Amino acid sequence: MSGDTAADRRCVAVRSAIGEDLPGIQALLQRSGLPIAGVEEWLPHFLLAEHEGRMVAVAGLELHGASALLRSVAVEPDWRGSGLARQLIDRQLSEAHERHIKDVYLLTTTAEHYFPRLGFACIGRSDVPAQVHESVEFREACPASAVVMRKTLAER
């Protein structure tokens, strides 16, 4: 990570995405090998981290009834390993909890060994509720080989 100091990490600001962030988010996702289908639709539920005005990480949440789909978690290579993904995911899980979401799902082809540390476990596709199955990411964007994971949130 460039500028690898605690001070730099404190200077990362997290905020919700707005319309003009869309091209930058799509570019970061594409550089990270992740799909962009459905991003525009769910943009208000995307969080991004910025350092000195540069977008360095993103994480999105789709809301489907009592379930949510965590998606589009990407960190610029020079900022990986500094806890940014965890920070954004924790914020999205808190947001889901506030919204009385029961289960948070995700699809990944690259990071199934990352998410267990955040409480996600692998499940079968048949365990995914129909509403989540209908999402663009599920139907079109992620290959059938993607691993499906779930985290059940504590009752409020």
Which residues of the shown chain bind ligand COA in the complex (CB under 6 A)?
Answer: 32, 34, 73-75, 80-86, 108, 110-111, 113-114
**Dihedral sign for Cα atoms in the order 16, 40, 117, 104:** positive
Tell me which DSSP letter residue 38 carries: T
Residue type, 143: P
Residue 121 per-residue DSSP state: E
CB-nearer residue toward ligand COA: 11 or 111? 111
**Smallest distance, Å, CB 155 to ligand COA?**
26
Two tokens at 110?
């690259």
Sheet holding 103-108: strands in order across? 12-16, 46-51, 54-64, 67-75, 103-108, 147-152, 121-123
Comparison of 108 and 135: residue with beta carbon closer to ligand COA: 108
Write down the least CB distance from residue 142 to ligand COA, Å. 9
Whichever of 17 and 34 has its CB closer to ligand COA, that residue is 34
* Shortest separation between residue 116's beta carbon and ligand COA, angstroms: 9
In the complex, the smallest distance separating the C-beta of residue 117 from ligand COA, rounded to whole angstroms, is 7
Burial of 22 (0-12, 13-18, 19+ CB in 10 A): middle
Task: Provide the 10 A C-beta neighbour count for residue 145.
Answer: 6
Nearest distance, CB of residue 156 and ligand COA, angstroms: 25
Would you say 100 or 139 has its CB closer to ligand COA?
A: 139
Residues 49/56, Cβ–Cβ less than 8 Å: yes
